[in-house]
Structure 1
């Protein structure tokens, strides 16, 4: 079973909030460590990742709290993974790049756990086969 510490939840929340802020902020040509064109590309990538994550998190609830949680968190973790990859592609601060690598490692483990759990507990596929 996985668990996210208070620090981990704060980290994920902070990364997600920064993606929202970047997605909503106008592009600027005064970005440190990146050219204006690269900053625009990164802002566009953050916006797309944020939109995809929120779309995928908007699950139809099933009445099974555990399954709904797992499906929503799966989309949430994939969004964090996308954001960390954007940092590695466009970011220049080594502390943030190191954090992005840590986020990727942690999110990949949790994504794997969630996918495995969903596959083992998804009764909707079994009930559809019986019909």
Structure 2
């Protein structure tokens, strides 16, 4: 892996890239979706629609962030990469907001 690509991988993937274990796009997407579905399934349902909605939406939005990171790492189309960056930024802000609403 080229040093510049490795640096981006480290930023996006953390320890997996440091270990030299940079999975391919499909693998990253599969992992992102598995984490999202697991997080949504594990969300505690309280009977409070507002809190239950937030509990489910945080992992859902995190799945979008993780998918956007995979696109930024492997994508080629500048328009799609720009969209992925927007998704990453917007969804991260929404996750932060939803977490504040949960407290």
- Please state which band the TM-score falls in when normalised by the shorter chain: 0.7 to 0.9
1:118 equivalent in structure 2: 102
Q: After the TM superposition, which residues 78-117 of structure 1 pair with which residues of structure 2 at under 5 Å, given as runs?
A: 78-117=62-101
Moved over 2 A (4+): none
The CA distance in 2 between the partners of 1:57 and 1:99, in whole Å, is: 24
Report the TM-score when normalising by structure 2.
0.74
1:43-66 CA distance string (max 9 Å, x none)? 011001001000101123111110
Q: Is 2:7 the partner of 1:48?
A: no
The CA distance in 2 between the partners of 1:44 and 1:105, in whole Å, is: 22
Report the TM-score when normalising by structure 1.
0.59
Gaps of 5+ in 1: 1-37, 120-131
RMSD: 1.4
Answer yes or no: is the 8 Å Cα contact 2:68–2:85 preserved in 1: yes
Count of residue pairs brought into register by the alignment: 81
The CA distance in 1 between the partners of 2:91 and 2:44, in whole Å, is: 23
Q: Secondary structure at the match of 2:29?
A: helix
Gaps of 5+ in 2: 1-21
